[in-house]
Chain A
Amino acid sequence: MSKSVSKSVKPIKIVVIGSGGVGKSALTLQFSKSKFFLDYDPTIEDSFSKSCYIDNEMARLDILDTAGQEEFTSMREQYMRLGQAFLVVFSVTDRKGFEEVDSLIQLIYRVKDREAFPIMVAGNKIDLQNDRCIDQSLAQELVQRHQEFNPYCAYIETSAKTRLNVDLVFHDLVRLLRLYNAKGGSKQAKKSKCSLL
C-alpha cells in the first residue's frame, strides 16, 4: 500500500532559473507560501516542496530556487542534471535578463543532452507596465523558435506581486512534463530496462 502511494506521489523536481533579480524567488514563494516578500535578498539556493492536485492527479513538486548571479554558475550544471522540468524566468522590465533566456535554454539542452525538454518561460513583473521593455510578441517569438524542435516549451506572463498566473505557470509545467513522460519518457524507461538486462 505504502509503496503504491509513494509511487503515485513521486516528487517532480522543478528548477527555477534566470538572470539575477528577475523575481525567481518571489515567484516560487508566491506559489509555495502564497506570500509576496518585499525584501530584496539574493538567493544562493533554496528548495521548497508543495503537493497539489493537477488535473485530478496528485503531484508533489520539489522546487529548487537558484541564484541568478554569474558567480554561482559553477553550481548550475549540477542542479540542471537533477532537474526534471525547468522554469526559465525573466523580467519584462529588464532587457539583459531576457537576453540570457536563450542561452539558458541552450544550456539545458546541452546538459540534458536532449533536443526536447519540458521548459516553461515566464515573463515576470508584468504588473510594472510602465517600465516594460520586452513586448509579449518578442517573447512569444523566442519561444516559437524553440517550439519548432521542442514541443514541450511554452511562454506565460506572470506577476508574482499580484499572483497573476503564478499557479498556472507551475501547473502547466507539470502538464508539460507529464506529456513528455507519456511520449518520450516511456521510451526511455524501456531503454533503461534493456540496459539493465
Chain B
Amino acid sequence: MSHLRQRPVAAMNGGLNGIGGVGTPRCNWRRSADVSQWELATLDTSQWRRSVDASQWVNVDDAPNQRCDACELAGQSEAEPPWLRRATRGRQLNSVTRRVATAIASRDCPRQDVRRMFSFQQPEQPETRLLLNDCDQNSNGVDSNNGSDGTVDSMHNSAASSRCCSSCVFEDSNNNGHTNGNGINASAPKSADWTLGGQCNDVKSPDNNDDGMGAYPTFVLPDNNPLGDTDIEDLAELDRRRVRGLARLELTALFDKHRCCQASVATSNGSAVTTKHQRRFLRLQQRSQTLSVPDEDKLDSSEPSSRTVEAKTVRLLRLVRVLTERLSREDALKTRGLFRVCGSAARVRAFRRARPEVVEAAAAASAIDPHDASTLLKACLRELPRPLAVSSRDAGRFTCLPRICDETDRLFGLNLFVLLLPSEFSSVLRELVELLAKVVSHRDQNQMTLQALATVIAPSLVPAHSPEQLLTDSQDLITAVEMLIKYRSIVWIVPDFTLQQIRRQAPPSLPIPAEAAQQRQPHAAVRLLRRIAGGRQHQHKGHLHCQQQQQPSPTSSPFSATSSSLSPLSPTAQQSNSSIIQVRVILTAHESEIVKSVLIASNTTAEEVVRRVGCDSNGSCLYEVGGNLCERRLKPNAVVSVVRRVNPACSWRVK
C-alpha cells in the first residue's frame, strides 16, 4: 500500500515542479483532493487514483525521487484507457483535466511530451533559451532531452528561466533571494535568471518612477522575440479557449506553490480547477446573490434566465465601452477627481433608465458630464452579472495575489487571471485599464494618483461579497488593481511557453472556426478571379520552392491545386536562407482574395511582408493560419522564417 501511495504523489510533485516551478518542497502537506486532481492530470491508471483517494493526507516529502517513475508510467500508456474514455464521454472530467488526460493518453504523444507539458524548456543551455530560440531546435526534430530524465532541480530551473524570459524580464537585480510565505527560498538559479534576463533585454525601458505608477518594479518584455509577442487578442477564439485551459492549470499550480494564500483560498471556494459538484454549488450561490440584489438597482428586473443575463451583459459591456471612450477625451481626463467625485444622482439615474442608444448619442456628443459618466461607468461595472476583472470564483485568489512574495510570480499570476477572462470581457477590461492609465498620466490636472484611482475603481472591478470583506480585503484588492494598471502592457501577452504548449498539443486536424470555414468555400466567380489574379502575380509559379507543408493544412485546401503544383519541401530549401511563402491577401473592401508570393530571407519581419504585399497603408497585419494554431496575428517585428519553423504547416494571410 505504501508503495502504491507514493507514486501518485511523486507524479504530482513532478507535475507541480514543472508548472509552478516549485523547488524541493519542504514539508509540504497536500490535501488528497488536490492529489487526485493532479493525479488525473499526470497518470492514467485508476488503481492509483483509488489508492490516493483512500489516504486522507499524503506527505510529499516521501517521494521526490520517484517522480521519474511516474513520468515513465504516464508516458507508457499508449491508448486511451477505458476509464478515461468513459469519463470523457460522460463528461465527468472538466475540460482542462480532460484535455491533459487525453493528450497524455493519445497515441502520438511520446514520453518527453508528457513531461514537456509541465516543463516549458529543456534543462540544458538556459542561456540560449533566453532568446526564445528553442522553437528552432524543436522543429529540427532534435530533442536532446529524449533519454535523460532531468532532475527535479534542473527541471525547476528551466521552468523558472523560461517563465522569466518569456513572460517578462525582471530589471531589478537587487531583489534576489526572496523568501516566499512557505519558507522556500527562491532558488539561486532563478535569481541568476533575472540578471540573464537583463542581458537579453537590450533596450531597457526608461525608469518608470516618474509615471506615477507607484513603487512597483519595472518589468519589460524582451523585444527581441523572433516569434513576436502574442497578444491574447491576436489569437482566434478557439486558441484562446485553449490558452484559458492552460492558464487555469498554471494558476492552480502557482497558488499551490505560494501556500501563503491557502487560508484565504480555502474560504473562497477551494482550488481553481473545480469539480462538477463545486461548480453546481457555486452556481447556486451566484444565483442567490443575484437574486438578493434589490430590484430597483437593476436595469431589468425580469427573471434572470441565461438569455436575459447574456443580453444584459452585452448591453452593459457596450455601455462601458461607450463611456470609456467618452472619458478618454482630453476634457474628461483633466477633470479634477475623475472617478472619485460622484456624479449627479438624478442625472445618473435618468441615464440608467434611458435606452443605451440615448446614452451612446449623449456620450458621443460629450453631453455627459465626466463625473456622471464615471459614476455611470462604475455602476455598470457593478451591475455586470460577473465581475469584469475576474470571475466570481477566482475573486478570492485575485485578492490574495498581492500576498505572493515573489514579484515575477505575482506578475505571472496577474497575467494568468487576465488570460482567463472571456474574450469580450478581456477587451473591455483592456480599454478600461488603458483609460485608467491615461487618467493617471494626467494626474497633475485631475489629482488622481494611481493609488487614489485604484481605491475608487477596485470595488467596481471586483465586487466584494460582504461589507466586511470589502473592508478587510480592500488593500490587497487595490494593490492588485494597481498592478493591473501598471503592467497593462505585459499581462495581456500570452507567455511563449503557453503558446508552445498549445502548438504541441495541437490535434492533427484542427477544427476550423466558422468564419474561416466560410472563407474556404468562396464563390466560384471569386475563385476564378482569384486564380487569374494569382496566376498573373506568380508568373514564375513553377519555381516556387517552399509551400511549407509537411502535412496538408486544412485551411489551405482551396489552394490544393496551387499547392500540388509546387515542388515538395526539400531539406535544402528548408535550410537555405531565403524562401518564398504564399500570402493570401484578403481585401475586405472588395470581399476578394489575392494570392501573392513573397520572397523571405531569414530575417524578414511580418511588417516587411505586409509592405511588400502592398497593404501597409490600411493597417493590415500578417496572420499565420492553420497548422498547430487556429489563427494568430503576427506582431510587426515577428520574423517570418522563425514562425514558419515553429508552425511549418501554416498558411499566411494578410487582413
Contact = CB atoms under 8 A, between A and B. Distances in A.
B341 A40 contact: no
Interface string B456-476: 100110001011001100100
Shortest beta-carbon contacts, A-B, top 3: A71-B459, A21-B341, A40-B447
B345 interface: yes
B167 interface: no
Contacts of B464: 74
Nearest to B379: A70
B264 interface: no
Interface stretch (A90-98, A134-142, A150-158, A188-196): A90-98
A158 to B, nearest CB: 19
B467 A21 contact: no
Given A40-B337, A40-B448, A96 B455 contact: no
Most chain A beta-carbon neighbours within 10 Å: one of B343, B382, B451, B455:
B455
A135 B83 CA distance: 78
Contacts of A39: 449
A78 B467 contact: yes
Nearest to A95: B344
A160 B340 CA distance: 19
A45 B474 CA distance: 10
Contact of B341 (A72, A74, A94, A99): A94
A83 interface: no
A40 B449 contact: yes
A63 B471 CA distance: 17
A94 B470 CA distance: 27
B379 A74 contact: no
Interface in B324-340: 337, 340
A103 interface: yes
Contacts of A21: 337, 340-341
Interface in A95-121: 95-97, 99-100, 103
B564 to A, nearest CB: 62
B342 A71 contact: no
Contacts of A19: 341-342
A72 B371 contact: no
Interface in A37-57: 39-42, 44-45
A104 to B, nearest CB: 11
A87 B322 CA distance: 37
B500 interface: no
A40 B466 CA distance: 27
Given A21-B340, A96-B344, 13 more contacts: A20-B337, A20-B341, A40-B447, A41-B449, A44-B470, A68-B342, A69-B340, A69-B459, A70-B342, A71-B456, A72-B470, A75-B467, A75-B470
Nearest to A96: B344
A74 B456 CA distance: 14
B157 interface: no
* Interface residues of chain B: helix, strand, loop or mixed (majority): helix
B345 A20 contact: no
Most chain A beta-carbon neighbours within 10 Å: one of B371, B375, B447, B459:
B459
A93 B460 CA distance: 27
Contacts of A42: 340, 452, 455-456
A19 B467 CA distance: 19
Interface of A: 19-21, 39-42, 44-45, 68-72, 74-75, 78, 94-97, 99-100, 103
A106 to B, nearest CB: 12
A39 B449 CA distance: 9
B378 interface: yes
A40 B452 contact: yes
Interface of B: 337, 340-346, 371, 375, 378-379, 382, 447-449, 451-452, 455-456, 459-460, 464, 466-467, 470-471, 474
9 contacts: A20-B341, A20-B342, A40-B340, A40-B449, A41-B455, A42-B455, A69-B342, A97-B342, A99-B346
B342 A45 contact: no
A25 to B, nearest CB: 12
B444 to A, nearest CB: 11
Contacts of B447: 40
A160 B447 CA distance: 18
B363 to A, nearest CB: 18
Contacts of B474: 44
A37 B340 CA distance: 17
Given A40-B447, A41-B455, A71-B459, A96 B470 contact: no
Contacts of A103: 345
A75 B342 CA distance: 17
B565 to A, nearest CB: 64
Contacts of B449: 39-41
B375 to A, nearest CB: 7
Given A40-B448, A44-B474, A74-B467, A96 B378 contact: no
Contact of B456 (A20, A45, A78, A96): A20
Contact of A75 (B343, B344, B471): B471
A99 B348 CA distance: 13
A94 B345 CA distance: 13
A16 to B, nearest CB: 16
B297 to A, nearest CB: 10
Most chain A beta-carbon neighbours within 10 Å: one of B341, B345, B375:
B341
Contacts of A97: 341-342
Contacts of A100: 342, 345
A110 to B, nearest CB: 14
A68 B447 CA distance: 17
Nearest to A44: B474
A42 B452 CA distance: 6
Given A40-B448, A78-B467, A96 B459 contact: no
Nearest to A76: B467
Nearest to B453: A42
Contacts of B459: 69, 71-72
Nearest to B471: A45
Contacts of B455: 41-42, 44
Most chain B beta-carbon neighbours within 10 Å: one of A19, A44, A96, A99:
A96
A95 B346 CA distance: 12
A45 B470 CA distance: 10
B460 A71 contact: yes
A186 B312 CA distance: 52
B485 to A, nearest CB: 15
A99 B337 CA distance: 18
Contacts of B371: 96
Contact of A99 (B345, B378, B379, B467): B345
Nearest to A69: B456
A103 B345 CA distance: 10
Contacts of A44: 455, 470-471, 474
Nearest to B451: A41
Contacts of A95: 344
Contacts of A71: 378, 382, 456, 459-460
Contact of B378 (A41, A45, A70): A70
A95 B344 CA distance: 8
Most chain B beta-carbon neighbours within 10 Å: one of A40, A42, A68, A70:
A42
Contacts of A41: 449, 451-452, 455
